[in-house]
Amino acid sequence: MMGEVNSMVRPELELATLIVNTLNLEVSPEDIDPDAPLYGEGLGLDSIDMLEIALAISKAHGVKLRSDDESNVRIFSSLRHLSNHIQHLKAA
């Protein structure tokens, strides 16, 4: 039964899977807390990781994540924020 896994909705789980596969993380996508920080604490990603994620999202979803977006701190603050931003861009 699909749906919510650890309070994660399908787009968040798909994004978590993309992040894990892109960065070869040794964590299961289902184990990522959708509200935990991606950068620094939480998943412990750095700016290079974020660039790789942005590129992978661009390829997978056809949306551009701009490095000069003043909202990036908020957008990349958690898996949930990033997923919501991608869904918003896809709907636009």
In sequence order, the β-bridge partners of residue 45 are 39
* CATH no. for 31-91: 1.10.1200.10
Residue 6: band (very low, low, confident or very high) from pLDDT cuts 50, 70, 90: low
Q: Kindly indicate the confidence band of residue 41, based on its pLDDT and cuts at 50, 70 and 90.
A: confident
Task: Find where tokens 């309070």 sit.
Answer: 7
Section 55-84 average pLDDT: 93
The answer to whether the beta carbons of residues 24 and 16 sit under 8 Å apart is no
Domains of the chain, by residue range, sit at 31-91
- Please state, in angstroms and rounded to a whole number, the distance separating the CA atoms of residues 79 and 12: 7
Decide if pLDDT at 5 tops 50: no
Q: Which of 24-33, 62-71, 75-84 bottoms out in mean pLDDT, i.e. has the lowest?
A: 62-71
State which amino acid sits at residue 77. S
pTM: 0.87
pLDDT score recorded for residue 4: 44
Residue 78's pLDDT is: 95
